[in-house]
């Protein structure tokens, strides 16, 4: 075997080992997204940012590719929902609300998290007084860690 052919075979073997090693690292790190278009079922977490320390209720609309019945992210929160369509859900969360995760949403594909939007419509204090200014309130929808 000549020197160039041995070098080419060695390079192919080395690249094959490197590519296999990268795939193995992805799997051991918990990355099950192999680049396939298959959905990755799981949950998304909706987190609230609030400028106040005495919020007791929030009402918002959740829209996305497919919304279904969510659950409270904390045992101290109660969640009420009204399904408007397969892509829109009215949500009310009650409890001692702080800047934290407030909702867990089961989804067909966690990679669609950026497609979910939250529109806050009302916030009330723990004494049932509606907030007149919603400045500083925000939400974030991300893949859940669970």
Computed over its alpha carbons, how large is the radius of gyration of the chain? Answer: 23
The pLDDT of residue 18 is above 70: no
Q: What is the pLDDT of residue 36?
A: 76
69 in a structural domain: yes
37 in a structural domain: no
Average pLDDT of the chain to the nearest whole number: 85
Tell whether 138 and 76 lie within a shared domain: yes
Tell whether 80 and 136 lie within a shared domain: yes
**Quick one: CA torsion of 60, 64, 66, 69, rounded to 10 degrees?**
-20
Q: What is the pLDDT of residue 28?
A: 40
Q: What is the pLDDT of residue 98?
A: 97
Tell whether 27 and 46 lie within a shared domain: no
pLDDT tens-digit map of 38-60: 999 999 999 999 999 999 999 99
Tell whether 62 and 109 lie within a shared domain: yes
The pLDDT of residue 30 is above 50: no
CB neighbourhood size of 61 (10 A): 16
The pLDDT of residue 8 is above 50: no
Tell whether 112 and 135 lie within a shared domain: yes
5 in a structural domain: yes
Tell whether 46 and 22 lie within a shared domain: no
The pLDDT of residue 82 is above 70: yes
Number of domains in the chain: 2
79 in a structural domain: yes
**Which residues span the domain enclosing 79?**
42-143
Tell whether 19 and 89 lie within a shared domain: no
Tell whether 54 and 108 lie within a shared domain: yes
The fraction of the chain above a pLDDT of 70, given in percent, is 75
36 in a structural domain: no
Among 140, 145, 73, 82, smallest CA distance to 110 is for 145
Say how far apart CA 145 and CA 115 lie, in whole Å: 18
Q: Confidence band (pLDDT; 50, 70, 90) for 17?
A: very low
CA–chain centroid gap for 5, Å, is 50
The pLDDT of residue 31 is above 60: no
Tell whether 13 and 66 lie within a shared domain: no
Say how far apart CA 59 and CA 80 lie, in whole Å: 9
pLDDT tens-digit map of 89-142: 999 999 999 999 999 999 999 999 999 999 999 999 999 999 999 999 999 999
């Amino acid at each position: 075997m000549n020197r160039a052919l041995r070098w080419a075979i060695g390079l192919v073997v080395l690249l094959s080992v490197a590519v296999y090693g990268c795939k193995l690292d992805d799997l051991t790190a918990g990355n099950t997204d192999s680049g396939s278009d298959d959905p990755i079922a799981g949950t998304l977490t909706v987190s609230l940012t609030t400028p106040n320390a005495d919020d007791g209720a929030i009402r918002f609309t959740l829209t996305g590719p497919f919304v279904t019945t969510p659950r409270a992210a904390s045992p101290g929160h109660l969640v009420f929902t009204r399904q408007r369509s397969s892509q829109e859900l009215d949500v009310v969360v009650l409890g001692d609300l702080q800047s934290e995760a407030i909702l867990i949403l089961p989804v067909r594909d966690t990679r669609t998290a950026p497609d979910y939007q939250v529109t806050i419509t009302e916030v009330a204090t723990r004494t049932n007084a509606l907030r007149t200014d919603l400045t500083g309130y925000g939400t974030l929808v991300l893949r859940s860690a669970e």
